[in-house]
Structure 1
């Protein structure tokens, strides 16, 4: 016989209403009580009748997450932690990647509207804000993540990318660098606010220490292993002379490191090297890549909380949350400092 809400409530020691609220993701139910209810429901193989609930309330248990690049470890980890947080609230996450294309971003927003999603998280591609306007018209709340242009005034949880650039400029100064290099995003992505803010803050920070990135030590390459390798090849065409290289993300930095090694140059010995994101692989002793850690877990959790408040008809405070960055100094820069 199929278990009912009465069975779950009785075994969990709560009311039927508490079980119902737990599966709706209501903040009225504590985390401990929600977990107990879900554990009992799993033991009894209880599955709430979502179709009946939707007919009764006009609401689904669906939320969406649109990211720019699902293949990027930073974005995939944010999706993972957001999904975990939503699951604790009895909500189902549908995620998709725009691949930095506004048409794909808009199309996925349309799909979520057809699915009657209750709310949407978006890492915007920033070419336009048509997807946001579409969600506004549909009355679906949303929260932007990671980075937004200065003119954006909607709810958001973002990285302090100016701090990211400043941290690395100061760290390179500490390594004794005099000829820094910067590997940027691909040329067609340089408009994106995250890359602009990081690059400009890094260059201003270098200037404060009497340094600058020369034309030969700058490459707009991209955020992949191959992009990093290509950046090294370009900088080496007339002789590689950089003593500290800052890459747009860790994947790019690892590609740069690998290509340099093929030419007999070792990161941490012949030049300092750093990236952004602090992927798990970056801390391996064989790589020991210095990186600026972006708090993807906190971004995901904070944005979920903000979106849930909006879905409850509340105004979250603050509406704009900026999270600090952390420098994770490892062998690819520390070995240079020890040699001073």
Structure 2
């Protein structure tokens, strides 16, 4: 693991205390504490003033201190997109299951958060944040740009939303580029002379890296003009049939879901795999394993372990980002090649 400081992201977490609020407002500390808890023992006007000042001064309750007093376990949040669409992807579910096991083994509570819940946290300065937050990589990075998250322990898991092109948050990444290189080398070794690369999710940063990895190997080893690139949505039956008619051809899809759809289309056309067309995907999902699809695979447990270790080290080192190396991706050679 390497250690780095991310500019404009890592600063000290706000250390404003209730005593600071009391001094600013010329109130006693007990009145501030009552106001923050919403107690009717202080006036509505006092509660309003305290909350407004807490928001302006970026005050946050000290959850660690409260836990020491109450012996409560650490709490990590898991931020997912509002629609939970990401949970339809098998590889995401497998990774989150591994993360849940990791937190449970360490006695850490894992709470699901959504983007609207984070908005609520930003607007409510008295809300107690978890000790740290895992952010799944298809959550828009813009929500994390709020000052509240400066220096806050968070870890982006596989940053794939296009917004991460311009934000440098601490992240655990998959070696999508290297994995695609390995698959492309395998296809060439199996005799491929024509390659069709199909993008299942063109906006996905990970899929873009997979395209880059495949192209880097193909252009080094084979004629550049013998590689065709298209998205699944733009691929027509005529295009697929025309490509499959070429000798020694291979189709490499940027994920297994797309590869399985192509597998179904080729079977319906009476095209045999791998005799007429070599076929490969990426992720090595359970369904892909059932049909014997050649794919790229990464260790979900290693991914979750890296995320857990780096977030804990961030908390222990108060602001030092431990940036792990990308999780390696290896080849799973199946019956389709």
TM-score per shorter chain, which class? 0.5 to 0.7
Aligned residue number for residue 321 of structure 1: 325
Aligned residue number for residue 164 of structure 1: 179
Aligned residue number for residue 180 of structure 1: 195
**Deviation digits for residues 61-87 of structure 1, max 9, x if unmatched?**
431223461111111111111111111
Structure 1 position 258 matched with structure 2 position 264: yes
Aligned residue number for residue 255 of structure 2: 249
Would the aligned equivalents of 2:294 and 2:332 in 1 still touch at CA under 8 Å?
Answer: yes
Backbone CA RMSD of aligned residues: 3.2
Larger radius of gyration: 2
Name the CA distance, whole Å, in 2 between partners of 1:163 and 1:111. 39
Shift of residue 132, structure 1, vs aligned partner: 2.1
Name the CA distance, whole Å, in 1 between partners of 2:120 and 2:72. 16
Aligned residue number for residue 298 of structure 1: 302
Name the CA distance, whole Å, in 2 between partners of 1:65 and 1:292. 26
Would the aligned equivalents of 2:299 and 2:327 in 1 still touch at CA under 8 Å?
Answer: yes
Gapped regions of structure 2 (runs ≥ 5): 1-62
Aligned residue number for residue 119 of structure 2: 110
Name the CA distance, whole Å, in 1 between partners of 2:78 and 2:257. 23
Give SS of 2:152's match: coil
Structure 1 position 91 matched with structure 2 position 102: no
Name the CA distance, whole Å, in 1 between partners of 2:252 and 2:225. 10
Gapped regions of structure 1 (runs ≥ 5): 1-49, 97-104, 222-226, 334-340
Name the CA distance, whole Å, in 1 between partners of 2:203 and 2:257. 20
1:49-64 matches, cutoff 5 A:
54=67, 56=69, 61-64=74-77
Shift of residue 234, structure 1, vs aligned partner: 5.7
Would the aligned equivalents of 1:183 and 1:246 in 2 still touch at CA under 8 Å?
Answer: yes
Would the aligned equivalents of 2:170 and 2:321 in 1 still touch at CA under 8 Å?
Answer: no
Cα distance, 1:135–1:308 mapped onto 2, change above 3 Å: farther
Shift of residue 288, structure 1, vs aligned partner: 1.0
How many residues are aligned here?
Answer: 261
Runs of at least 4 residues of structure 1 off by over 6 A? 57-60
Shift of residue 115, structure 1, vs aligned partner: 5.8
Aligned residue number for residue 283 of structure 2: 277
Name the CA distance, whole Å, in 2 between partners of 1:112 and 1:61. 18
Shift of residue 233, structure 1, vs aligned partner: 2.8
Structure 1 position 66 matched with structure 2 position 79: yes
Cα distance, 1:111–1:86 mapped onto 2, change above 3 Å: farther
Cα distance, 1:308–1:111 mapped onto 2, change above 3 Å: farther
Bigger RCO of structures 1 and 2 (CA < 8 A, at least 6 apart): 2
Would the aligned equivalents of 1:184 and 1:247 in 2 still touch at CA under 8 Å?
Answer: yes
Aligned residue number for residue 38 of structure 2: none
Aligned residue number for residue 219 of structure 1: 230
